[in-house]
Amino acid sequence: NDPKRVEEYLKKAPSKVYLDRYDSGDLNSEIRSVAVRLLAGVQMGLSDESLQPLVNQLVEWVDKKLGHVNTQEAAFVITAMSAYLSRMETDVTAASAQITHPEGVENLQGGGTWTGTAEGSGKNFEVANTGAVPIFVTHTCMGIPTTPRTVPVSEGITLTRGMTREDGTPVKPGEALAHGAGYLVELTINVPTARENVVISDLLPAGLEIANPRLDKDAVAAMGKGKAEKAEGRPENGDEDEDGNAKDNGLTPAYLEARDDRLVLAFERLEQGTHRFYYAARAVTPGTFRQPAMQGECMYNPAIRAATVDTEITIK
C-alpha cells in the first residue's frame, strides 16, 4: 500500500533484461516481459512517470509489428495497456470531432462512436478534433492488390513448389498440364535453423484439385522420390546420407487438412535443413488459371514467414 517505497525498491533491486524468445512452450519473449512489468506496475500503483518508458516500448512494438504479431504477445500487450489506460481519468464531455466522409459530414460528441465504410479507390475520411482532449481513431483497409507481388517472401524460412508427372518427369514453368492427368506436387521447405509450430498453406488454382493428400512412401517412391520422413525431420527407416542428414524424403505433418481450395499442413518442429512434402493432384478443368502463392509462417512468431509468387497454369 506504499507505491513510493515500491518505486524506490525497484530502482535499487537487481534486474536483468530478458532477451530470449521462445516459439513454443511458455512462449516467453522480451515484449511479453515488458507487458507483465507494466501490468504489475499498474496494480502496485506506480506513478505515470515511472510507467511511461514501459508504455512507450509497447506502443513502439505495436507500430512496428502490427500485422505480424502472435496471439500470446498481443494478449499481454492489450491487457497491460488496457489496465494502464483504464486508470486515466478524462472528462469525455470535453471531447468532440467532425468527420468528413464520402457521404457527407458528421459531428460526434464525447462518449459516442461513429462507423463508416467506403468501397473503391479515391475515398477519403477526414477526422478533425474539435474538442479539448485527445481522441482516438481506428481504421481498417481491405482489398486485393492491383498488381501481384513479383518477389518471393523469405524471412527465416523459404518455400518452393514444383510438379512432376506420373512418369517422373518434371513439369517446367509455363508448361501446360494435360486435362485429366494426375501430378505429384512437391512442396519444399527450407529452414536455416530449427523452427517450431510451422504452418504451410498451399492454395490451388481453380482447374486443379487434390487427389490424394496422404501418399504412402511407396506411391511417392514410384514417382522417383524418397521414403517417408517424420515431422521432426528424421526418417522413419533411418535412411540417411553419408553426412548423417535425412535424404530427399517425404515429410509427414503433425496435422493435415485438405480443403477445396488449399492444402494446410502443420509441423510441430522442423530441424535445420531442407524438407519436402508430396501430394497428388489432378487437372480437372481446361483453361488458364491463376496459381495463388504458397504461404507459411511460425504460428507463434509470424515475423518468420515465407511466400512464393502468384503464377498462371494452363490445362489443355
Write the secondary structure of 234-256 as one string of H (helix), E (strand) and C (coil): CECCCCECCCCCECCCEECCCEE
Closest to 140 in 3D by CA, of 160, 113, 116, 163:
116
pLDDT, greater one: 216 or 283: 283
Alpha carbon distance 313, 207 (integer Å): 9
CA distance 272 to 194: 5
Show Cβ contacts of residue 97 under 8 Å, excluding neighbours closer than 6 positions: 107, 108, 127, 128, 129, 130, 131, 135
Cβ atoms of residues 267 and 297 within 8 Å: no
| Angstrom distance (rounded) from CA 25 to CA 249 | 28
CA dist 58 and 92 (Å) reads 25
Grid cell, residue 204, equals 490451388
Residues 69 and 73: their CA atoms lie apart, in Å, by: 7
Number of H helices, E strands in the chain: 5, 17
Which helix (H) or strand (E) covers residue 156, if one does? Answer: none
Give the tens place of pLDDT for each residue, 190-200.
999 999 999 99
Confidence (pTM): 0.66
Distances (CA, A) of 20 to 33, 48, 55, 61, 192: 10, 28, 20, 16, 18
Give residues with Cβ within 8 angstroms of 313, minimum separation 6: 176, 177, 205, 207, 208, 288, 289, 291
> Cell numbers 459516442 correspond to what residue?
112
Chain segment 138-189, per-residue pLDDT in tens: 777 777 777 788 899 999 999 999 999 988 899 998 899 999 999 999 999 9
The rounded distance, in Å, linking the Cα atoms of 132 and 90 is 11
What domains does the chain contain, in order, with CATH numbers?
3-86 (no CATH), 92-129 (no CATH), 153-315 (2.60.40.690)
CA angle 69, 75, 77 (to 5 degrees): 80
How many CB atoms within 10 Å of residue 147? 5
As a whole-number percent, the residues of the chain with pLDDT over 70 amount to: 82
CB 34 within 8 A of CB 51: no
Assess contact for 289 and 204: CB atoms under 8 A.
no
Q: Which of 64-78, 105-119, 217-231, 257-271 has the highest mean pLDDT?
A: 257-271
pLDDT of 236 above 50: no
Query: 24-58 pLDDT, tens per residue?
Result: 655 678 888 899 989 999 988 888 888 999 999 99
